[in-house]
Amino acid sequence: MTSSIVKTTCPYCGVGCGVDAKLENGNLIAVSGTTDHPANYGKLCVKGSSLHETVDHEGRMLTPMLHGQPTDWDTSLAYVSDKMKAIVAEHGPDAFAFYVSGQILTEDYYVANKLIKGFIGTANIDTNSRLCMASAVVAHKRAFGTDTVPGNYDDLNHADVVILTGSNLAWAHPIVYQRLANAKKQNPSLKVVVIDPRKTASCDIADLHLPLKPGSDAFLFNGLAHHLIAHNKLDDSFLANHCNGLEAIQQTVINQTLQQTAQDCDLTEDQINHFYSLFANNERVVTLFSQGINQSSSGVDKGNAIINCHLLTGKIGKPGAAPFSITGQPNAMGGREVGGLANQLAAHMDFKKPEHIDRVARFWNATNMAKNEGLKAVDMFDAVADGRIKAIWIMATNPVVSMPDADRIKAALQSCDLVIVSDSQAMTDTSQYADVCFPATTWAEKDGTVTNSERFISRQRGYLLPPGDAKHDWQAICEVAKRLGYEEAFNYENSADIFREHAALSGFENDDERDFDISLLSQISNAEYHNLTPIQWPVNTRHPNGRSRFFDDGRFYTADRKANLIAVQPRLPTYTPNSGQVTLNTGRIRDQWHTMTRTGKSARLLEHIASPTVQIHPETARQQAIANNALVKLSDRGISYIARAEITESVRADSLFIPMHWNDMFASHARANSLVRPISDALSGQPEFKHSPVTITPLVAQWQGWLMTNETFTPDSDLEWFRTPLANCTLWELISEQRLPDMAWLRTQFSDMDDWVHLQDTEGRYLSAAGFKNNRLCVVLMSEPELPEMDRNWLKAQIGTEFETKSDRLRLLAGVPADPASQTGRTVCSCYQVGEQTIINAILNGEADSVESLGALLKCGTNCGSCIPELRALTLEHQAKENAA
Ligand SMILES: Nc1nc2c(c(=O)[nH]1)N[C@H]1C(S)=C(S)[C@@H](COP(=O)(O)OP(=O)(O)OC[C@H]3O[C@@H](n4cnc5c(=O)[nH]c(N)nc54)[C@H](O)[C@@H]3O)O[C@H]1N2
Ligand SMILES: Nc1nc2c(c(=O)[nH]1)N[C@H]1C(S)=C(S)[C@@H](COP(=O)(O)OP(=O)(O)OC[C@H]3O[C@@H](n4cnc5c(=O)[nH]c(N)nc54)[C@H](O)[C@@H]3O)O[C@H]1N2
Ligand code: SF4
Ligand SMILES: [Mo]
């Protein structure tokens, strides 16, 4: 047996953790955190620790597909290039578009951008980073003259105050969250403030939580600027030497008094004062911001309102002091570096500067250089819908799920002449609308670089062979480019070739005019590229070993090298709900990644939250007569979303929260974005995913229930459903609004069972049934007007096993084990598979009374630590119950 370890980078979030992939005989058998990687120092969260469970070939796209039929690369490439040539010849270059992703590697991104902007001659390339980071990019450019993230994760160790605004760090960036929790442990005087309309898992370590009115952040930060000015907390020398625009700020915030802010944000004056004095009276403050800020029709202004407060007080460019936009995807930053957004050029150059266009054109020897910005994502799909764009190539993103007003995306793709989808998975909500599908390699197979939130460039290394005919995304792009006649410009041998060219462009005629400069890497050999260790850009003669912090010299990237304070007029979301409506907030859960094409394959990751839920405040629930765990329907503009209610005081009475992840592969009516309206920030084009108006009503079912089976099953079209793949079978949650359950239907669905046992009441409203083939349990249905009780882990263990006697078979129909002590409940700790009931029992029996003692007893929380906030909440809740009893 041969075994080895390959050092690579996690393909999920922008934390960018180093991963040691352990191989035996060429197979990935385990993963662990790389101990000397600067992002994670050996730690991995639950998603990272499950990577080895997602690399099997099940569901992979293995060959190119043309009009739904498998084909070969030659045929599909010829089809695509002929059709593209014809479309561009007839309608011009703007009839073509690329819609790419922060999940491709820098090298893929670089060639996509080069092909379309330098050779096809249009800037119609945009990325899903538009949905993610675009507002922060514009805020950075307005303030700093460039898109730079000034700080780094280590700043958390030096900070006196850390503010999380619009960020659920505990679930979305778990390893940075753990670094913050550790920093607080080392330095108990470190204060954490969470600003979020919702009480999230990140509040576990917060000293202060401000549940502000949705979308009111700019009022809060303008109020902070008012406070800083009124209390003489400005850094006068920093402002005089390094900033423009103080006067305009003074004027705009003059009326944003404490009283006014309390009213605008629906917070108390005490809450706000507490926050303001923490910011004002501490030198070292880090403000981490993410989608609660960016995904808003005023996302750019919110970003600048935050940055203003850091500039006013000189809290930037110093250890422990920075505004910190934390990026979502593993290579959102790399995409920004190569210019993957429609309004960027390459290497942090800009369409607004003709000399930049000329410079990039000369560097590329471009035959048809784009001269103007292209269409941003929402406008791009509008142009597909109305026929201005006739060909679109979608790569590593699933817009039918992730774009706002997602049903319109479906319709747009249906009407488009040429839809090309490059994906690693065969069946996605988007690939169904493709004329041509290109099978892509993915993590573990592809080779290149990614840049994380703190500007570290790390290698993703390919160590598994591509399955079937899958190719790297850069190869597919170059093959098309060559067939379009651009052989010379796209003749790369490997990803190192592309990286060297990208690095050279970053330094081309630069001389510190542009922050992004990695020119010292432009001459590295293939071997050096192969062995590249993480390095933080810039990497040039001035900073040969990288630079950990920008603006420590007070020099920004504007014409006069001063930062700009940007006066902003705060405003609320575009749609404030009418009476009868509430604000729909959407976002992430701990164990799922976006549209679930990868994390949905891991049964372990589906155990934390198995089906979509709507977080709803008790008051809203009471008004609508909605019980906990009952089915609810959210509606807007004739579109419905169906999920279960989770009644919780964590959300405000004016809001609901749903996960963004579920889609048509996992549920009949749970694509969040079918409800989200396509409203965008006018400056950044980033959609307002966090604030859509909806109505909520109870859903009355004739029956609802569980169907667990290891046989194929396709729900009838009049049923509503959620599907959860488990390790050995599939769990369907079925709902019928129209008819009662019946055995005849079940027998037809599973016609080759050789025995059934069932129980049904005389009115036919309750039915439990189990079907057997060769004595083995193959299917269980339990249905009632309300959701029946069922122990998933126990029942799952029965599927596929032999049941000899009728009495054993009948016992299954209870859905729970005869001995209640063996019930484990919903999984809380995914790493060690520890169920909620097991944890509660340990607390109630007095065996454990803290996160630490639970860990010592059951191991829960001792690997990735992602479940620690929930363990603490369970300890508090059940100890309180025990004390009360
Ligand atoms: N588990 C998991 N982790 C992920 C991802 C994933 O899919 N799953 N995706 C990655 C990606 S691409 C991204 S972009 C990041 C996103 O990371 P985050 O931005 O942290 O995640 P979200 O859950 O989208 O939104 C964060 C919070 O914004 C809050 N919010 C809503 N409206 C407002 C508001 O008006 N003001 C404020 N202050 N807050 C508001 C929401 O209640 C939510 O708790 O996560 C990354 N990490
Ligand atoms: N309602 C709502 N909607 C949102 C958000 C929200 O908070 N709320 N957040 C937005 C944000 S921040 C983001 S980043 C987006 C994310 O949304 P998407 O980008 O649509 O999400 P993913 O599921 O990550 O899609 C990645 C696709 O690429 C495929 N893939 C994986 N690796 C590779 C590869 O190497 N090559 C190729 N060609 N394909 C690959 C995967 O199988 C998958 O189909 O969603 C946005 N949409
Ligand atoms: S925090 Fe988790 S998902 Fe993000 S990079 Fe690290 S291991 Fe991957
Ligand atoms: Mo994102």
Q: Tens digit of pLDDT for each residue in 322-331?
A: 999 999 999 9
Residue 587: partners with Cβ closer than 8 Å, 6 or more residues away: 168, 172, 291, 292, 657, 659, 660, 689, 690
- Residue with the smallest CA separation from ligand 2 atom 6 is 587
Over residues 476-493, mean pLDDT: 97
> Hey, is 122 helix, strand or coil?
coil
Q: Which ligand is nearest to the CA of 128?
A: 2
Domains and CATH numbers, the chain: 3-53 (2.20.25.90), 65-131+351-449+464-493 (3.40.50.740), 134-325 (3.40.228.10), 582-698 (2.40.40.20), 703-821 (no CATH), 824-884 (1.10.10.1100)
Nearest alpha carbon, ligand 3 atom 4: 13
For residue range 141-166, what is the model confidence (pLDDT) as tens digits? 999 999 999 999 999 999 999 999 99
At 747, the pLDDT band (50, 70, 90 cuts) reads: very high
- Percent of the chain's residues with pLDDT above 70: 99
Residue with CA at minimum distance from ligand 2 atom 40 = 396
pLDDT at 312 > cutoff 70: yes
Closest atom of ligand 2 to CA, residue 395: 38
Query: Does 12 contact ligand 3 (Cβ within 6 A)?
Result: yes
Q: Do residues 216 and 224 lie in contact, with contact meaning Cβ atoms separated by under 8 Å?
A: no
Encode pLDDT of 175-184 as tens digits.
Answer: 999 999 999 9
Asked whether the predicted pLDDT for residue 236 surpasses 90, the reply is: yes
pLDDT for the residue numbered 882: 66
Q: Is 588 in the pocket of ligand 1 (CB under 6 A)?
A: yes
Rounded distance from Cα 824 to ligand 3 centre (Å): 28
- Which ligand 2 atom is nearest residue 587's CA? 7
Question: Model confidence at 732, in pLDDT bands (50, 70, 90)?
Answer: very high
Is the confidence at residue 7, as pLDDT, over 90?
A: yes
> Which of 660, 671, 688, 692 has most ligand 2 atoms within 8 Å of its beta carbon, as the pocket-test mutant?
660
What average pLDDT does range 207-219 have in this prediction?
Answer: 98
Q: What stretches of 710-864 adopt beta strand conformation (E)?
A: 719-725, 730-736, 755-760, 767-773, 776-784, 827-829, 834-835
Q: State which amino acid sits at residue 362.
A: R
Q: How confident is the model at residue 239 (pLDDT cuts 50, 70, 90)?
A: very high
Q: What is the pLDDT of residue 37?
A: 95
Please tell me the distance between residue 686's alpha carbon and the centre of ligand 1 in angstroms.
14
Mean pLDDT, all residues of the chain: 94
Residue 445 CB–ligand 1 contact under 6 Å: no
Judge residue 191's burial from the number of C-beta atoms within 10 Å of its C-beta, 0-12 exposed, 13-18 middle, 19 or more buried: buried
For the Cβ of 101 lying below 6 angstroms from any atom of ligand 2, the answer is yes
- Cα angle 71, 74, 80; round to 5: 85
Q: What is the pLDDT of residue 831?
A: 83
Q: Residue 111 corresponds to which tokens in the numbers above?
A: 């060639």
| Sheet bearing 703-709, strands edge to edge | 719-725, 730-736, 703-709, 776-784, 767-773, 755-760
CA-wise closest residue to 98 among 491, 422, 425, 492: 422
Tell how far the Cα of 686 is from the centroid of ligand 2, in angstroms.
Answer: 15
Give the model's pLDDT for residue 660.
94
Question: 30 by DSSP, 3-state: which?
Answer: strand
Is any atom of ligand 3 closer than 6 Å to the C-beta of 865?
no
Asked if pLDDT for residue 642 goes beyond 80, the answer is yes
Look at residue 184 in the predicted model and tell me its pLDDT: 96
Position 579 scores a pLDDT of: 84
Each residue of 515-552: pLDDT tens digit? 999 999 999 999 999 999 999 999 999 999 999 999 99
The pLDDT tens digits of the residues spanning 253-301 come to: 999 999 999 999 999 999 999 999 999 999 999 999 999 999 999 999 9
pLDDT digits (tens, 9 = 90+) for 53-95: 888 888 899 999 999 999 999 999 999 999 999 999 999 999 9
Q: Ligand 2, closest atom to CA 101?
A: 19
Q: What is the structure's pLDDT at 483?
A: 97
Distance 162 CA to ligand 3 centre (A): 20
pLDDT classification of 885: cutoffs 50, 70, 90: low
Query: Does pLDDT of 604 surpass 80?
Result: no
CA of 345 to the centre of ligand 3 (A): 29
Helix %, strand %, coil % of the chain (to 5): 35, 20, 45
Cis peptide before 404 (omega within 30 of 0): no
Mean pLDDT score, 379-406: 97
Structure tokens that stand for 676 in this block: 């989200």
- At 100 the three-state DSSP class reads strand
User: Taking residues 846-850, what's their average pLDDT?
Assistant: 91
Question: The whole model's pTM is what?
Answer: 0.93
The pLDDT, as a whole number, for residue 1 is 75
SS3 694: strand
Is the Cβ atom of 10 under 6 angstroms away from ligand 3? yes
